[in-house]
């Protein structure tokens, strides 16, 4: 681990990009995450887990810092409650144009908004509604659908979700240790012994006599041909009128 990642960080001001949103990662935690994630190695046969050399293994204090940051992200991604969704979407639909509907239809629409948006944090829902109100997204006239608001919310939570995935990959990585010089010597000795044993077996097989079965087959074939010639000669002697 580099010295810069092990020094004690000074007090820094961390202001979230959106009101009530997730605060930026501390500089030390961000540098540690980037350093360790760049040193992850894919594990053959597993696309979900990674390996990390013992030379880059985080200390207990560094693992605690990463787990603390992950908990902070999880807290900031907690889904919005129904009251927050009703308030923000209600204000949005009150200002922007929306189709006329009966009371029962409006209630169904509210439940649809809640069902779709409750998986996103309240700060993301608020920011998405503000962007529709000030015209940064949408057609600036008609109130958005649940899908349109959810699309903006997904964009807002993409960065913290990516950071959380990187931290998970680091914390779940399998630590491996490079072989020592003694291990390398042992492997080389075993490989040499295997090569010598293989060569010895091949030499022994070359020294064995040939398989007698092909010779026996040839002898039987010759005997059969001689017997056939004898029978033809006997047949010709007993019936000379047929000629050869």
User: In this predicted model, what pLDDT tens digit does every residue of 233-243 receive, in sequence order?
Assistant: 766 666 555 55
Domain boundary among 158, 175, 200: 158
Instruction: State both tokens at 163.
Output: 């950071």
* CA distances in angstroms from 71 to 9, 59, 65, 77, listed in the order given: 20, 18, 10, 10
The answer as to whether 129 is a domain residue is yes
Q: Please say which residue of 121, 137, 158 terminates a domain.
A: 158
pLDDT, one tens digit per residue, over 136-166 is 999 999 999 999 999 999 999 999 999 999 9
Sheet holding 46-53, edge to edge: 41-43, 46-53, 174-176
Is residue 111 scored above 60 in pLDDT? yes
Q: Could you tell me if residue 21 is inside a domain? A: no
Note whether residue 139 is domain-resident: yes
- Alpha-carbon distance of 132 to 194, in angstroms, equals 72
38 Ramachandran zone, left/alpha/beta (phi>0; psi -120 to 50): alpha
Is 191 among the domain residues?
Answer: no
Judgement on whether residues 154 and 221 belong to the same structural domain of the protein:
no
Give me the pLDDT at residue 156, please.
Answer: 96
**129 lies in which domain range?**
82-158
Indicate whether 217 pLDDT > 70: no
As for how many domains the chain has, the answer is 2
More confident residue, 79 or 5: 79
pLDDT band per the 50, 70, 90 thresholds, residue 227:
confident
Q: Are 137 and 92 in contact (CB under 8 A)?
A: no
Q: How confident is the model at residue 20 (pLDDT cuts 50, 70, 90)?
A: confident
Looking at the domain assignment, is residue 35 inside a domain? no
* Model pLDDT for residues 30-75, shown as the tens digit of each residue: 999 999 999 999 988 777 789 999 989 999 999 999 999 999 999 9
């Amino acid at each position: 681990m580099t010295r810069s990642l092990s020094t004690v960080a000074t007090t820094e001001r961390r202001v979230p990009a959106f009101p009530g949103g997730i605060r930026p990662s501390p500089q030390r935690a961000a540098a540690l995450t980037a350093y360790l994630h760049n040193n992850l190695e894919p594990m053959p046969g597993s696309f979900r887990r990674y390996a990390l050399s013992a030379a880059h293994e985080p200390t207990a204090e560094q693992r605690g810092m990463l787990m603390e940051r992950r908990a902070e992200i999880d807290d900031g991604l907690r889904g919005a409650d129904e009251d927050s969704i009703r308030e923000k979407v209600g204000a949005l639909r009150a200002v922007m144009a929306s189709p006329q509907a009966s009371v029962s239809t409006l209630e169904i629409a509210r439940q649809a908004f809640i069902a779709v948006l409750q998986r996103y944090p309240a700060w993301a829902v608020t920011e998405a509604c503000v962007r529709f109100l000030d015209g940064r997204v949408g057609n600036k006239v008609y109130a958005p659908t649940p899908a349109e608001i959810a699309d903006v919310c997904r964009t807002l939570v993409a960065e913290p979700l990516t950071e959380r995935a990187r931290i998970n990959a680091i914390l779940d990585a399998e630590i491996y240790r490079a072989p020592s010089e003694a291990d390398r010597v042992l492997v080389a000795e075993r490989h040499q012994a295997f090569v010598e044993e293989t060569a010895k077996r091949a030499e022994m097989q070359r020294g064995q006599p040939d398989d007698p079965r092909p010779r026996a087959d040839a002898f039987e074939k010759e005997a059969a041909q001689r017997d056939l010639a004898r029978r033809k000669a006997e047949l010709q002697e007993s019936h000379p009128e047929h000629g050869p």
